[in-house]
């Protein structure tokens, strides 16, 4: 029976497993092996390089995912990959006879660039402090997509990579070495890079190839008083939504893919290679999907602002007395609770709680003036949950109790 290995270079596996990318790749690989009944082992940064070079003595097939790595690691992987059925994952090292499984980066960047252009963004920048093959491949795809769209790439809008060579700027290597401080200490250190980048001429939008940089950029821009997406839009790749909304409630636009499917596809490719009499390398790319969120919606944001106010006012005019009025508005606008409250305050200049209370008090004042309904019935009809709340809200709005107000009409 065949035995496979998955080589994840760099840190020990228990450290890498904390990162979603490595965790999903490893889980997809392991699940596929188990379904096929294939024994497997996972090799990591603790595995001696001699064992990697001679992996063909112990395994029938090997998959390798190499991130930030030394020439010695690359040499060991090439020696292993060229001597047995092998698959490079996420980074193509152009090894003769070695297959490749990854994400279609050209499509991923194309989706982002096309979306940002559709939203009316005149200039689109690129920011990275990651000198890994993933970042360089995504920069290459970014430049191709910009060229295809007829948009220039300016060095003033690109951070971390030299436009003339497509290679990492020497200054970002120091940042990349601090990735193990992730996430909070890394966040503080990367703010220095943000300060340098955003102190110059702002592009209309910025693409981040590394998901944490997109998230931390949103936090930095918020603290710096730079509005997203009104002043600058942000978009990224594989941005974790649950993490992004902590820093930017509207969410960050992102291309995403089922990365675990990359791991399982690699196993399928190994199976196919082993079944062949003459080993043939294949290149298999998985297509990503675009998830549009508020961070990039420049044109749509302007349209939604007008629609948002109209939708709120129309619904409240008919349902201000309902105790579910806020939940209904969340459903109508499609927004989360925190983001709805933040947007409402920004658009109306007052909190939703204060605005709806004053609205109800105004309706109550009309009934007090123009009807003989008892005050308690007016309280019920205008949506106040208790007479105590009704009395306090009315007095705050009109400077007198409801009874005094009715006598003075």
pLDDT of residue 301: 57
Residues 283 and 263 in one domain: yes
- Give the predicted TM-score (pTM) of the model: 0.67
Split into its structural domains, the chain has a count of: 3
Tell me: pLDDT of 348 over 80. yes
Last residue of a domain, one of 240, 268, 297: 297
Residues 176 and 237 in one domain: yes
Residues 97 and 112 in one domain: no
Tell me: pLDDT of 244 over 90. no
CATH number of the domain that residue 319 is part of: 1.10.10.60
Closest C-alpha among 67, 65, 21, 6 to residue 258: 21
Angle, alpha carbons 252-258-260 (nearest 5°):
130
Q: How confident is the model at residue 222 (pLDDT cuts 50, 70, 90)?
A: confident
> 294-298, 317-321, 330-334 — which is least confidently predicted?
330-334
Range of the domain at 384: 300-407
Answer for the pair 167, 86: CB distance below 8 angstroms, yes or no: no
Tell me: pLDDT of 60 over 70. yes
Residues 171 and 274 in one domain: no
> 48-57, 140-149, 373-382 — which is least confidently predicted?
373-382
**Residue 144 half-sphere exposure toward CB, CA atoms < 13 A:** 13
Question: What percent of the chain clears pLDDT 70, i.e. is strictly above it?
Answer: 89
Residues 267 and 247 in one domain: no
The Cα 256–Cα 244 span in angstroms is 14
| Structure-model confidence comparison of residues 117 and 302, the more confident one | 117
pLDDT of residue 261: 93
| Structure-model confidence comparison of residues 190 and 304, the more confident one | 190
Tell me: pLDDT of 300 over 70. no
Residues 251 and 131 in one domain: yes
Q: Using one digit for the tens of pLDDT, what is the confidence trace for 69-106? A: 678 988 999 999 999 999 999 888 789 999 999 989 89
CATH number of the domain that residue 44 is part of: 3.40.50.2300
Residues 253 and 351 in one domain: no
Tell me: pLDDT of 176 over 60. no
Q: What is the three-class DSSP state of 234?
A: strand
Residues 131 and 248 in one domain: yes
pLDDT of residue 298: 74
pLDDT of residue 233: 93
Give the mean pLDDT of the chain.
86
Residues 112 and 94 in one domain: no
**Per-residue DSSP letter, 383:** T
- Asked whether the bond before 237 is cis by omega within 30 degrees of 0, the reply is no
Beta-strand runs (E) in 194-326: 205-208, 233-237, 253-256, 283-286, 289-291
Residues 321 and 337 in one domain: yes
Question: Please, where are the H alpha helices in 298-381?
Answer: 298-319, 325-333, 337-348, 352-370, 375-381
Residues 158 and 209 in one domain: yes
Residues 250 and 132 in one domain: yes
Q: How confident is the model at residue 180 (pLDDT cuts 50, 70, 90)?
A: very low
Tell me: pLDDT of 146 over 50. yes
| Structure-model confidence comparison of residues 222 and 353, the more confident one | 353
């Amino acid at each position: 029976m065949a035995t496979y290995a998955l080589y994840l270079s760099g840190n020990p596996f228990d450290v890498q497993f904390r990162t979603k990318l490595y965790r999903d790749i490893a889980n997809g690989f392991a699940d596929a092996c188990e379904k096929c009944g294939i024994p497997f082992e996972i090799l990591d940064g603790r595995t001696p390089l001699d064992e990697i070079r001679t992996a063909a003595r112990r395994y029938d097939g090997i998959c390798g995912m190499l991130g930030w790595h030394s020439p010695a690691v690359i040499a060991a992987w090439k020696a292993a990959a060229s001597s047995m059925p092998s698959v490079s994952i996420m980074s193509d090292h152009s090894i003769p006879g070695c297959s490749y499984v990854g994400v279609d980066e050209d499509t991923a960047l194309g989706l982002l660039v096309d979306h940002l252009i559709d939203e009316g963004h005149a200039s689109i920048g690129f920011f990275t402090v990651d000198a890994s093959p993933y970042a360089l491949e995504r920069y290459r795809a970014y430049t191709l997509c910009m060229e295809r769209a007829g948009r220039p790439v300016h060095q003033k809008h690109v951070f971390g990579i030299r436009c003339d060579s497509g290679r990492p700027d020497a200054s970002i290597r120091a940042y990349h070495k601090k990735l193990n401080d992730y996430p909070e200490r890394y966040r503080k250190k990367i703010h220095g890079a943000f300060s340098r980048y955003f102190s110059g001429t702002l592009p209309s939008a910025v693409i981040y190839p590394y998901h944490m940089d997109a998230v931390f950029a949103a936090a930095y821009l918020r603290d710096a008083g730079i509005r997203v997406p009104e002043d600058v839009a942000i978009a990224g790749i594989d941005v974790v939504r649950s993490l992004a909304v902590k820093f930017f409630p509207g969410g960050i636009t992102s291309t995403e893919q089922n990365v675990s499917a990359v791991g399982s596809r690699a196993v399928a490719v190994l199976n196919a290679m082993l079944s062949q009499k003459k080993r043939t390398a294949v290149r298999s790319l998985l297509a990503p999907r675009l998830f549009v969120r508020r961070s990039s919606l420049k044109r749509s944001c302007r349209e939604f602002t007008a629609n948002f106010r109209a939708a709120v006012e129309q619904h409240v005019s008919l349902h201000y007395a309902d105790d579910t009025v806020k939940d209904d508005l969340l459903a109508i606008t499609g927004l989360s609770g925190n983001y709805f409250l933040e947007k409402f305050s920004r658009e109306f200049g007052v909190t939703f709680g204060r605005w709806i209370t004053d609205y109800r008090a105004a309706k109550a004042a009309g009934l007090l003036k123009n009807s003989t309904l008892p005050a308690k019935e007016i309280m019920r009809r205008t949506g106040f949950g208790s007479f105590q709340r009704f009395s306090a809200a009315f007095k705050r709005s009109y400077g007198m109790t409801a009874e005094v107000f009715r006598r003075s009409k």
